[in-house]
Amino acid sequence: MTTAVRSAHEALACPTCHDPLEAEAAALRCVSCGRSYGARGGIWDFAPDLASQPGLAQRFMEAPAIVSIYERWFRPTLTRLVSPLRYDEEERYLERWLGATTGAMLDLACGTGRYTRWLGERAGDRAVLGLDLSRAMLLEAHRRAAAVGRFDLTFARGSALALPITSGALGAVCSFGALHLFPDPPLAIAEIGRALAPGGRFVCLTVARAPSGALRPLEQAFSRAASLRFFERDALTRWLGAAGLEALDLTQQGAMLLFAARKR
């Protein structure tokens, strides 16, 4: 049990000062700093001044041609190229490490919303927020959810580096396939630590740094070309600790790393 709020809407806050928002015409306005956040196509925009972020990988995440094949082909094929993981194994990991968590949940960097819908089945759709920087991904997530009648899921555009969430409001954060794309992973983890209620869980799937020297130059070239990061266990454990999170598990499957942590 955590002290998390119950619904995604209750958890929303100004991404700049983390203070509450009030409804104003078709927008949400911060009661402290007065910044206003609008919605387009059913998706709140909490990063109106941030068009995108640098890097080839993120350009792919915003390309309609990739987005249209992302969930069915692109994501499973890429994951299988570097690890034995399949969607059903990812789901089992998530189920296991969310434990008995309740309350509002964030699918951080939700892409087309596969895990947003999954979390909604577990926690109830009103409890779940899917957040991403890519408008194209979010529109597809919204379309897919609506196509199966899931109108109570909330989708919003925003940055992992400035979460539009009240401090201590969330019961859980899931972030699959994305930490390596964030420009500042320790800051994103600090934001997750801030947003979680005591006892709340963070479950993540990302990419591991190659163990051998031989693969390192390839990794570095790929990293520079695509603006992608690769992680070592020690660094992740350190960043989690600095964010007030206790690592519960860290499992490597090929080049992919699954890990789970709990807010102290």
Ligand X SMILES: C[S@@+](CC[C@H](N)C(=O)[O-])C[C@H]1O[C@@H](n2cnc3c(N)ncnc32)[C@H](O)[C@@H]1O
What is the closest distance, in whole angstroms, from the C-beta atom of residue 208 to ligand X in the complex? 16
Output 30 or 110, the one with its CB closest to ligand X.
Answer: 110
Output 125 or 140, the one with its CB closest to ligand X.
Answer: 140
Q: Is the dihedral of CA 211, 212, 215, 216 positive or negative?
A: positive
Give the strand order in the sheet containing 170-176. Answer: 21-24, 27-30, 36-40, 43-45, 154-157, 128-132, 105-108, 170-176, 196-207, 256-263, 245-253
What is the closest distance, in whole angstroms, from the C-beta atom of residue 130 to ligand X in the complex? 9
Q: How far apart are CA 227 and CA 169, in angstroms?
A: 31
What is the closest distance, in whole angstroms, from the C-beta atom of residue 111 to ligand X in the complex? 3
Are 21 and 13 in contact, with CB atoms under 8 Å apart?
yes
Are 83 and 77 in contact, with CB atoms under 8 Å apart?
no
* Residue nearest ligand X (C-beta atom): 111
Q: How far apart are CA 208 and CA 38, in angstroms?
A: 37
Binding residues (CB under 6 A) for ligand X: these are 53, 58, 61, 75, 109-111, 114-115, 132-134, 137, 159-161, 176-178, 181-182
What is the closest distance, in whole angstroms, from the C-beta atom of residue 133 to ligand X in the complex? 4
What is the closest distance, in whole angstroms, from the C-beta atom of residue 132 to ligand X in the complex? 5
Output 110 or 240, the one with its CB closest to ligand X.
Answer: 110
Output 97 or 176, the one with its CB closest to ligand X.
Answer: 176
Output 46 or 199, the one with its CB closest to ligand X.
Answer: 46
What is the closest distance, in whole angstroms, from the C-beta atom of residue 57 to ligand X in the complex? 8
What is the closest distance, in whole angstroms, from the C-beta atom of residue 162 to ligand X in the complex? 9
Output 21 or 115, the one with its CB closest to ligand X.
Answer: 115
Q: How far apart are CA 240 and CA 30, in angstroms?
A: 29
Are 125 and 229 in contact, with CB atoms under 8 Å apart?
no
| Placement of tokens 């993981």 in the chain | 85
Output 75 or 263, the one with its CB closest to ligand X.
Answer: 75
